[in-house]
Amino acid sequence: MCGRYSLTSPVEAMRRLFKFPEQPNLAARYNIAPTTDIAAVRVTGEKEERGHHYFSAHWGLIPSWAKSTDFSAKMINARSETVAEKPAYRGAFRSRRCLIPANGFYEWQKLSKGAKQPWLIGVKDMPLFAFAGLWESWTSPEGEIVESCTILTTGASESITFIHPRMPVILDPTYYGPWLSCEAGVELLKAVDADRMTFHKVSQRIGNVRNDDADLLKPLDLPPTQEHLL
């Protein structure tokens, strides 16, 4: 799954990679949490004018037929294995896909006695990458339009299964176009090769959404007497 991630790259780096013309004023975010507004990229426009565009979306999908936003926190992730069939996702999978820029994501390893150790996970050759996502537009009873999104997940790369059995789908840049144009299917939704993954332990501070600083990215330096426990 994916419940926290970071996005700290400059906007210009994002514009070059994802090819969107907008110039949003984005601050570095080290602890992005569900139900907040996040950066995303989609295809909009008609025929020759279609192109990649930046937009901001609520993290936690709200289907167009939903009566309220109450359950969006439970829809921050969608399993790639069933996304084409599940009623909450299949419409978006057919025609409303997006890229969600990130530099890394956090996952918690279960330890003995209920303890959990957070890890920061990334990709060696892609310091800036994109999760495969879906987006929706929902209109509230009061007429407010809310755009929301979800991150697709798949079985974890073999090198990080000891941390968690699942991971977000990280797309290769060559597939950004086919994914956004809905020309490609579930065959793209697979784990990154094991030898490309990077991962290190980080501070328990990541568990508090109010913490949002560069120190969260630093490898955890534990005394030798504690290291064997994690």
> 142-191 pLDDT, tens per residue?
889 999 999 999 999 999 999 999 999 999 999 999 999 998 888 999 99
Locus of tokens 């065959």: 187
Supply the pLDDT for residue 222. Answer: 56
Question: Could you give the percent of the chain with pLDDT greater than 70?
Answer: 94
Q: Where are the domains of the chain?
A: 4-105+126-193
Supply the pLDDT for residue 47. Answer: 65
Burial of 205 (0-12, 13-18, 19+ CB in 10 A): middle
Tokens linked to 43 = 């295809």
Supply the pLDDT for residue 12. Answer: 98
Looking at 98, 107, 136, 147, which residue is catalytic? 107
Average pLDDT estimate for 7-11:
98
Cα 218 to its chain centre, rounded Å, is 20
Average pLDDT estimate for 27-33:
98
Supply the pLDDT for residue 184. Answer: 87
Supply the pLDDT for residue 112. Answer: 83
Distance between CA atoms of 72 and 78, rounded to whole angstroms? 12
pLDDT band at 219 (very low <50, low <70, confident <90, very high): very high
118: which residues sit within 8 A by CB, 6+ positions away?
A: 106, 107, 108, 109, 201, 202, 203, 204, 206, 207
- Span 68-105, pLDDT tens digits: 888 899 999 999 999 999 999 999 999 999 999 999 99
Amino acid letter for position 142: E
Tell me if residue 2 is catalytic: yes
Q: Which fold has domain 4-105+126-193?
A: hypothetical protein yedk fold (3.90.1680)
Looking at 2, 98, 136, 149, which residue is catalytic? 2
Cα 107 to its chain centre, rounded Å, is 12
Supply the pLDDT for residue 226. Answer: 43
169 or 46, higher pLDDT: 169
Supply the pLDDT for residue 132. Answer: 98
**Lowest-confidence range among 26-30, 39-43, 50-54?**
50-54
Distance between CA atoms of 38 and 41, rounded to whole angstroms? 10
- Looking at the predicted structure, is the pLDDT value of residue 128 above 80? yes
**Lowest-confidence range among 26-30, 95-99, 114-118?**
114-118
The 3 state secondary structure assigned to the chain is CCCEEEECCCHHHHHHHHCCCCCCCCCCEEEECCCCEEEEEEEECCHHHCEEEEEEEEECCCCCCCCCCCCHHHHCEEECCCCCCCCCCHHHHHHCEEEEEECEEEEEEECHHHCEEEEEEEECCCCCEEEEEEEEEEECCCCCEEEEEEEEEEECCHHHCCCCCEEECEECHHHHHHHHCCCCCHHHCCCCCHHHEEEEECCHHHHCCCCCCHHHHCCCCCCHHHHCCC
Question: Whole-number mean pLDDT of the chain?
Answer: 93
